[in-house]
Structure 1
Amino acid sequence: MREMRRKGERATQEEARRIVEESEYGFLATAGNGGLPYGVPVSHVLHGQAVYFHCAVEGRKLDNIRENSAVCLTCVSRAEPLPEQYDVRYACAVVEGRAALVEDEAEVLEALLLIGRHYTQHDEAALDAYIRTRLHRTFVCRIDIETITGKIHGGAPSGGSGSTACHQS
């Protein structure tokens, strides 16, 4: 793995995990069809050493994962422009790993409940009922985390300056 250029902005593992947990969505990058890249936002949830997301039962994202399971998920939990300083205060994390289509029904239900809890305020019974009526048209994918790195630029919301890019170089 390439070393981060601005080591002072490297997030701890705990901070990187928190960024993934707090972000509203992640941007999933896949490659398929002869190596062509494809990126798409996904609703996700971090659970242990995996990230789950849901999707339709067919599409380019799934085709790519079937062809090449290596994926990258980028999450941004904070992006605060600082126009007077020509800068952005941000917190981002990059998850790299292998994606798999979840086939076990119990794991699918658990993942969808985790995602539902993350994005809604419904009680468990209502959430469970909603999920079960849509189960036939929903796939769940799991990213088995190989690496997770993060970058925090600008520190706490009250300070900082420097580079504006969220990447590992």
Structure 2
Amino acid sequence: MRRKEKEIKDTKEIEKILEEASVCRLAMVDGDKPYIVPMNFGYRDGILFFHSAKQGRKIDLIKKNPNVCFEVDQLIRFKKAKMACEWGLEYKSVIGSGRALLLDNIEEKIKSLHIIMSQYSQRTFEYPDEMLEKTLVIKIVIDRITGKQS
């Protein structure tokens, strides 16, 4: 990171940003181009979980190359000023990478879906068998992570 004074080094603070985020942008490799999608997700103990349909561009790309990157952020406030170049943004963000695994085992999917739903709600949910059959879970074990604030 070029601006070391903006780096978040405290792992607890990085985890707090992940735990409070509602959207995670997941980036994959499509040939020589990046492909990124905003997704709802769950985070627990250094692992990200996403749910997906079993088919589609995202799944095809992960099967070809499981190396992924992700980003979450918290917008705190816009900093307004008289001069355009003095405007700014106060935020916290986390960027990391890992290797995506596709989970299709029913028990693994249920555990993962509970983690995803706990990101947004304290309720306990049940998942109909027909939906579980149509769903795939993307599990990412994080291997690199950085935090930044401005």
TM-score (norm 1): 0.79
Q: How far does the alpha carbon of each residue in 1:71-103 deviate from its partner, in whole angstroms, 9 at most, with x for none? A: 001001234211225010000001211011013
1:108 aligns with 2:105: no
Q: 1:142 aligns with which of 127, 139, 144?
A: 139
**Percent identity (aligned):** 32
| Structure 2 CA distance for partners of 1:112 and 1:151, relative to 1, 3 Å | same
Alignment of structure 1 residues 3-18 onto 2, 5 Å: 4-11=1-8, 12-18=10-16
Query: How far 1:131 sits from its partner (Å)?
Result: 5.2
Paired positions, count: 145
Q: 1:135 to 1:35 in 2, by over 3 A?
A: same
Which stretches in structure 1 are left out of the alignment for 5+ residues?
A: 154-169
Higher strand share: 2
Query: Does the CA-based 8 Å contact 2:17-2:73 persist in structure 1?
Result: yes
**Partner Cα separation in structure 1 for residue 114 and residue 129 of structure 2:** 10
Cα shift at 1:139: 1.0
| Distance in 2 of aligned mates of 1:15 and 1:81 | 21
Aligned to 1:40: 37
Does 1:28 pair with 2:26?
yes
8 Å contact from structure 1 (residues 13, 148) kept in 2: no
> 1:112-140: CA deviations, max 9, x gaps?
01111222353x2xx11x45452122110
CA distance in 2, matches of 1:139, 1:35: 26
Q: CA deviation at 1:144?
A: 1.1
CA contact (8 A) 1:54 1:141 kept: yes
- Give the AA of the match of 2:78: P
> What's the offset of the Cα at 1:104?
2.9
Aligned partners of 1:13 and 1:149 also within 8 Å: no
Question: Contact 1:9–1:151 (CA<8 Å) still a contact in 2?
Answer: yes
Q: Secondary structure at the match of 1:120?
A: coil
Offset of residue 31 of structure 1: 0.5
Aligned alpha-carbon RMSD (Å): 1.6
Aligned amino acid, residue 110 of structure 1:
K
Question: Which consecutive unaligned segments of at least 5 residues does structure 2 have?
Answer: none
The letter of the residue matching 1:105 is I
Stretches (4+) displaced over 4 A: none
CA distance in 2, matches of 1:133, 1:116: 18
Q: Give the structure 2 partner of residue 86 of structure 1.
A: 87
Counterpart for residue 97 of structure 1: 98
Matched, 1:61 2:58: yes
TM-score, with structure 2 as normaliser: 0.89
